[in-house]
Amino acid sequence: MKTRSILLMACLIVASWLLASLIDVNAKNMSTRNYAPWNAFALAAEKEPERSWRPQVPEETAEPEEATKPDKLHTEENVMLLAKLIEAENGSAIHDETLVLTGVCVLKRVKSPHYPDTLRGVIYQEGGGGRAYATAPGLDGVHPSERALEIAEELLVYGVDEYPDSLVYQAMFPQGKVHKKLDGEYFCLAE
């Protein structure tokens, strides 16, 4: 009888864990904690190790001053603003590349003549019946994770030149030609 109770309890614990994973307790902006390692479905879906997204700089040619040379966008305020947007848009993503591509789309818009030329201008841009980023009004209450801060910092330091200039769309549905789909997000090229 005791063995049966222990078995029943173990089954209930596993069932609860699977139910929590199905509900996905890692909803966007729920908190700054990373619940992804506890999500059974996310763990099963991840098949290959994540590739590094950081720019590859040959060691013999890299000079520390040049590697971290800031451009006009690299300010403390912009790092925090971009990290907050990355967290708000895709903080629950499993792959770091999803966060990177979210930041890339913003920075590609800043560089495009079709959008405002400041990070703040792009993020808070209105038009077409709403904001370009629906999460923008709530950014003051967002606390970016360490990985969002690190990604924002590196994107603003190293730039986004290795990505196509037309990579400006990010949504849960395709807009234009699909560049990549990760974690349920489509990152698309303007046609």
**Residue carrying structure tokens 């904001």:** 131
22-71 per-position pLDDT tens digit? 454 444 334 344 444 445 455 455 444 444 555 544 444 444 444 333 45
Inter-residue contact 92 to 21 (CB < 8 Å):
no
101-128 per-position pLDDT tens digit? 999 999 999 999 999 999 999 999 987 6
Separation of alpha carbons 96 and 82, rounded Å = 15
What is the rounded average pLDDT of the residues 76-104?
Answer: 96
CATH homologous superfamily for the domain 65-191: Cell wall hydrolase SleB, domain 1 (1.10.10.2520)
The residue ranking higher by pLDDT, 35 or 75, is 75
Domain boundaries, the chain: 1-47, 65-191
pLDDT at residue 93, as a whole number: 93
36 CB contacts (<8 Å, ≥6 apart)? 26, 42, 92, 94
123-142 per-position pLDDT tens digit? 999 876 677 898 999 999 99
pLDDT at residue 57, as a whole number: 43
pTM: 0.65
* Of the listed ranges 12-21, 46-55, 91-100, 145-154, the one predicted with least confidence: 46-55
77 CB contacts (<8 Å, ≥6 apart)? none
pLDDT at residue 109, as a whole number: 95
Distances from the Cα of 102 to the Cαs of 168, 171, 188, in angstroms?
A: 9, 9, 11
Beta pairing class for 185-189 and 177-182: antiparallel
**Average pLDDT over all residues of the chain:** 78
pLDDT at residue 60, as a whole number: 44
Separation of alpha carbons 6 and 68, rounded Å = 57
Inter-residue contact 85 to 123 (CB < 8 Å):
yes
What is the rounded average pLDDT of the residues 60-89?
Answer: 74
Separation of alpha carbons 45 and 189, rounded Å = 26
Question: Would you give the distance in Å from CA 96 to the centre of its chain?
Answer: 6
pLDDT at residue 76, as a whole number: 95
Separation of alpha carbons 102 and 47, rounded Å = 22
Q: What angle do CA 133, 82, 155 make, to 5 degrees?
A: 125
